[in-house]
Amino acid sequence: MSRIAVGYLDKTDVSLAKKIAHKWQLAYIGDSASVTKHPNLLFLLQVNFQELELIKLDEPKLGGIKVDFVDGAVAHRRKFGGGRGQDIAKAIGLKHGFTPHVLDATAGLGRDSFVLATLGCTVTMKERMPIVAALLENGLERAKLNSEVSDIASRMSLVHAATIEELAFTQQPDVIYLDPMYPHREKSAAVKKEMRVFQSLVGEDLDADDLLEPALALAKYRVVVKRPSYAPPLNDKKPSTSIKMKKNRFDVYVNQAIPKNN
C-alpha cells in the first residue's frame, strides 16, 4: 500500500480526494501532477471530476480504470442483455416468486453485481482489496445520484472484508456468487487491461479454491461459480449442475432446493 497514493486532477475534487485517502488509509499527494515528486509510487488513485480512477504510473497509455454503472458496456447489457432469460439469471435460480439476496463474494469492478441488481436482486458486494473497494464505493455513490440507474444502485451495498467467514448477516444470503480471478482468455482490450493492472497490484489469485467451502457453509440455497470453460471446477469439487456458454460456464452447487412458492 506504500506504493499507492491519492491525488486530484481539478481543485473541485480536493475534499473528495482527501476523504478517500483518509478512509482507505492511503497517502495523499494533492495535485496529481506532483506524482513526479514521488518516484516510489507505482499506482495513483486519481479523482477526476468526482470519478475515482486507478492509474498504473509506469504504463500511462493504459488510461485509468474506474467503476462505471451508468455508461459503456454495463449500460448496453442493462438495456439489451436479455433480462431474466440470461444465463446468470438461470444460474442463481431467479424465477417468478423468487428474487434472491445475492452475496457477490468476489465483487471486483461490480459488473456482475450490477447485472444481478438490474434483475431485481438485492446484492451485497464483498471486496477484499482496499483499492478495488475504493473504486467500487465511488462508482456506487455516483450511480445512486444518476436518475437512470439510482433504483438499481439502491439494491446494492458494499462490504470491505478479507474473507467470507468474517461477514455477519442478520439473514443469511440466499445465493453466493463467486468469480475468482483466473487467466480468462478474453479478447476484450478493456478486460485484458484490467486483469494486467490488477495482477500487478494484487498478484495471482492463489487461494481461489479456499472460497468454496465457506461459501457453501453460508449460502442458504446455492453457490454459483463463474469459470472459464477450460478451467477445472473450483477446489476440484463437482458441481450439482453447470450452465455452459461459449467461453465460460456457471457451476452451480445446490445446498437445498429453491421453494416453489417462495
Contact 134, 127 (CB under 8 A): no
The single-letter DSSP state of residue 215 is H
Cell numbers describing residue 109: 469492478
Which residue, 222, 257, 225, 221, is CA-closest to 243?
225
| Helix, strand, or coil (residue 122) | strand
Terminal CA-to-CA distance of the chain, rounded, Å?
45
Q: Which residues are annotated as a binding site?
A: 111-112, 127-128, 179
Alpha-carbon gap, residue 100 to 10, rounded angstroms: 41
Q: Residue with C-alpha cell 491525488?
A: 7
List of residues 6+ apart from 1 with CB closer than 8 A: 25, 26, 130
The single-letter DSSP state of residue 262 is -
Q: Which residues are annotated as a binding site for S-adenosyl-L-methionine?
A: 111-112, 127-128, 179
The torsion angles phi and psi of 248, rounded to 5 degrees, stand at -130, 175
Which residue, 157, 147, 79, is CA-closest to 121?
157
Please give the C-alpha separations between residue 152 and each of 66, 148, 171, in angstroms, as whole numbers.
19, 9, 21
